[in-house]
Amino acid sequence: MNGGDIMDVRNCKSCGKVFNYIGGQPLCPQCLKAMDDKFDDVKKYVYDHPGCGIQEVSEAMEVSVATIRRWLKEERLAFSEQSDIALNCENCGKRILTGRFCKECKNAMAHNLGNMYQTKVEEPKYERKKIENKMRFLEN
């Protein structure tokens, strides 16, 4: 049996070349490298042009709008306040500059998560106390 020698090979999503598929990355190493270089260029462009929008960057850098949006959602890239980008919080719809949620919603989510955890833990304790008190009352 040669089972161990079987490699997972795929076609690169960008250039179509066959490459060794590792860790769910759909691009071949060359395209991945090119994409990283592109990212650095885009980041620099956004930094040098504070008022630019996604469309402008896309055209100037020859990167798809979808790719730029993905970088924004991953919080790798952030546009400036002066930019006219239309990126909205997925929860409240407020205009944001990077990521998926605004600061307030992020905080609220972290807070709610903490509260949910606390109620779950606290409630049974409270109930038990009430019962104990009642029992004590009956005993007296």
Interacting residues with Zn ion (CB under 5 A): 12, 14-15, 17, 28, 31, 89, 91-92, 94, 102, 105
Copy the structure tokens of residue 20: 């060794």
Nearer to Zn ion, 17 or 129 (CB): 17
Tell me the C-alpha distance between 49 and 47, whole Å: 6
Do 102 and 92 meet the contact criterion of CB atoms below 8 Å apart? Answer: yes
| Residue 34 C-beta: closest distance to Zn ion, Å | 8
Which residue, 31 or 63, is less far from Zn ion as judged by CB? 31
H-helix or E-strand spanning residue 68 = helix 65-73
Q: What is the closest distance, in whole angstroms, from the C-beta atom of residue 35 to Zn ion in the complex? A: 9
Q: Which is nearer to Zn ion, 90 or 123 (CB)?
A: 90
Q: What is the dihedral of CA 65, 66, 69, 70, to 10 degrees?
A: -150
